[in-house]
């Protein structure tokens, strides 16, 4: 079959100037190489170690923001391309929110779970991140709650949240501490 390439940011979230993050590319296929593009510009090539390649961004600047894509190559031929990953670099002015989980960190498959992102700042929106996923979930504005009903093994993982002010001048918080959810 045709290989598929996943791209994600680890740890996820808006990065402050001077901060760092890693762009991960994974492909369950052979031992080719990955090429990372920003927009249409080729940035770096990494030979594959196992099924993933990691490109780190350290001491981030506003120049690092933008859209990144991974290409997977074997013998110089592009076999697959990832989705687009948006990297954001912004000053983080708001305090770090708290992420909690009900009923608890370990649940049985099929259970209903609520992830709650609590922030002291009024009128904020929050994003919920699951490490390894490219898309963040926008949390409902009222409570900052996210309900996962009938959780499955695939919902296991490392979650975090990050909030922003809902105003003309969007201000961001730091990312919450991470929370590991285990679905048995």
Q: Specify which residues 49 forms β-bridges with.
A: 52
Every domain of the chain and the residues it spans? 5-87, 92-183
Class of domain 92-183 (CATH, top level): mainly beta
Quickly count: other Cβ atoms within 10 Å of residue 21's Cβ. 20
- pLDDT tens, residue by residue, 122-150: 778 899 999 999 888 887 665 667 888 89
SS3 state at 33: strand
CA pair distance 81, 125, nearest whole angstrom? 32
What would the CATH number be for the domain defined by 5-87? Answer: 2.60.40.10
Residue 109 has pLDDT above 90, yes or no: yes
Give percent of the chain with pLDDT exceeding 90: 63
* Residue of 67, 71, 69, 54 whose CA lies nearest to 20: 54
Query: What is the pLDDT averaged over residues 32-36?
Result: 88
* CB contact at 8 A, 41 and 47: no
Tokens of 11: 């740890």
Residue 16 has pLDDT above 90, yes or no: yes
Answer yes or no: same fold for 5-87 and 92-183: yes
Higher pLDDT: 96 or 169? It is 96
- pLDDT tens, residue by residue, 157-183: 999 999 999 888 889 999 999 999 999
CA pair distance 176, 62, nearest whole angstrom? 22
* CB contact at 8 A, 113 and 147: yes
Residue 77 has pLDDT above 80, yes or no: yes
Average pLDDT, the chain: 89
SS3 state at 20: coil
Residue 15 has pLDDT above 70, yes or no: yes
pTM beyond 0.85: the answer is yes
* CB contact at 8 A, 51 and 28: yes
DSSP 49: B
Q: Which pLDDT value is given to residue 145?
A: 79
SS3 state at 32: coil
């Amino acid at each position: 079959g045709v290989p598929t390439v996943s791209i994600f940011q680890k740890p996820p979230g808006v990065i402050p100037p001077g901060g760092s993050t890693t762009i991960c590319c994974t492909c369950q296929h052979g031992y080719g190489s990955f090429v990372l593009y920003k927009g249409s510009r080729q940035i770096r090539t990494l030979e594959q170690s196992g099924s993933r390649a990691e490109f780190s961004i350290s001491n981030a600047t506003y120049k690092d923001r933008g859209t990144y894509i991974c290409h997977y190559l074997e013998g110089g031929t592009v076999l697959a391309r990832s989705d687009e990953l948006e990297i954001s670099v912004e000053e983080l002015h708001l305090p770090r929110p708290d992420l909690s989980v009900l009923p608890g960190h370990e649940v049985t498959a099929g259970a209903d779970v609520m992830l709650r992102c609590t922030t002291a700042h009024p009128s904020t929106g929050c994003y919920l991140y699951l490490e390894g996923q490219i898309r963040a979930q926008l949390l409902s504005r009222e409570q900052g709650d996210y309900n996962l009903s009938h959780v499955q093994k695939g919902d296991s993982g490392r979650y975090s949240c990050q909030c922003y002010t809902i105003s003309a001048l969007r201000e961001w918080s730091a990312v919450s501490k991470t929370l590991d959810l285990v679905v048995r």
